[in-house]
Amino acid sequence: MGHVFDFHEAVAYEKWMGKPENELAFQMEIQLLRDMLQPRAGESILDIGCGAGFCLPAFLDMGLKVTGIDPSTYMLDIALSKAGNRVDLYRGFAEDLPFDDNSFNHACLFTTLEFVEDAKKALAEACRVAKDRLFIGVLNRYAIKGVERRVRGMFSPSIYNHARFFSVWKLKHMIYDLAGDVPIAWRTVCQLPLPSGKFASSFEQPFLQRCPFGAFAGMVVVLIPRFRTRPLTVRYQRSHAPEEVPG
């Protein structure tokens, strides 16, 4: 089942996201998603593990038809307050999505894999319900910030006690194992200390996003739609051939 955010964790998370340095980091992460996914207006997207719904307004601004799913009712309540009736929200788990194959143009796992029970199964489900592209955003295991978060969790209670961290290489290995040799692109952001503000953002974009050690890693997978087929029963009738067949 993975970790499901309770009421206190949901409130604390929303408060944490409101801090200026965290808001700046999130805007850089969303810009990375937008640049890499490049969705077209009118397409559909499933936000798997939508949490408190911080990504939902950004998807709506892109002109997308948005659906969100999360196991935490407390997180969904906060998401509903942000997006209202403009988004379809469901309660459910990433490893067992209640949607048909190829139901959406795109799927997104934005800091979701860290908290699921079976990351590979969650990725398989995302590949199943999306037909065009999959965006995966994770807290980078090999970033300095990622090491700091893990160490902090050793000495004090933290939401990161429940998280697993991933690297670009680990994600690529899982995707190739699930979907075959599909096109994959990745980048990272938040390489520099965020108090430098806009300078950090403008400097990272052209120079450092190919470095695999940014605090947030984004990956886009171009999917190959798969369809289930059902054999049709065709009644066989013996043909009546003439006794003499021309040579």
Cα radius of gyration rounded to whole Å, the chain: 22
Identify the residue whose tokens are 């970033």: 143
How many other CB atoms are found less than 10 A from the CB of residue 184?
A: 17
* Sequence letter at residue 40: R
The tokens for 235 are 């009644």
Fold of 7-222: Rossmann fold (3.40.50)
d(CA 214, CA 185): 15
Q: Which residue has the tokens 């950004």?
A: 58
Write the DSSP symbol of residue 213: T
Q: Which residues contact 130 (CB under 8 A, 6 or more apart)?
A: 46, 102, 103, 104, 105, 106, 107, 223
pLDDT in tens, the chain (247 residues): 689 999 999 999 999 898 888 888 899 899 999 999 999 999 999 999 999 999 999 999 999 999 999 999 999 999 999 998 999 999 999 999 999 999 999 999 999 999 999 999 999 999 999 999 999 999 998 876 655 655 555 545 567 777 888 999 999 999 999 999 999 999 998 776 554 445 455 556 656 777 778 889 999 999 986 656 566 666 666 665 555 555 5
Q: Is 171 exposed, middle or buried (0-12, 13-18, 19+ CB in 10 A)?
A: buried
162: tokens are 């429940």
Backbone angles phi, psi at 58, to 5 degrees: -65, -40
